[in-house]
Structure 1
């Protein structure tokens, strides 16, 4: 799978929860993440236009699942495991 440019947001209420969106997507237009988990109702930008590579190993996350979610539903939520 190829690299993708994504914007990353961090939950303002749980610093281990993140939201990944295709770069340039306005998170205010999404209802899905907030519907499933209220911690995504308040988010702050973490990284802009991050070149995400689904084949890379990122500490504490399932990169392939994040990429699959972005490609199918246009957003991905994940929790970073600080022990990884």
Structure 2
């Protein structure tokens, strides 16, 4: 379970905020992230087909939480370096 292929999106209104989705997921079909934070109402693709390893460290983000979110609700919101 440590490796997931995800697409990463960046908030168009707050470049510090990111959204991770299972690869191939259309972010416009998700309403959850925008309900929790309007900054996710408009996102731009940041990286496609990223091989995400939940056991690695990525710029201070909680990789294990991101992986758990993706596996349970199919998306994860995070801030770079927070």
Calculate the TM-score normalised by the size of structure 2: 0.96
RMSD, aligned CA: 1.0
- Partner residue in 2 for 1:8: 8
Work out the CA distance in 1 between the residues paired with 2:36 and 2:73: 13
Matched length? 82
Q: Which runs of 5+ in 2 are unaligned?
A: none
Matches for 1:1-84 after TM superposition, within 5 Å: 1-81=1-81
Give every structure 1 segment of 4 or more consecutive aligned residues whose post-TM-superposition deviation is greater than 6 Å: none
Calculate the TM-score normalised by the size of structure 1: 0.94
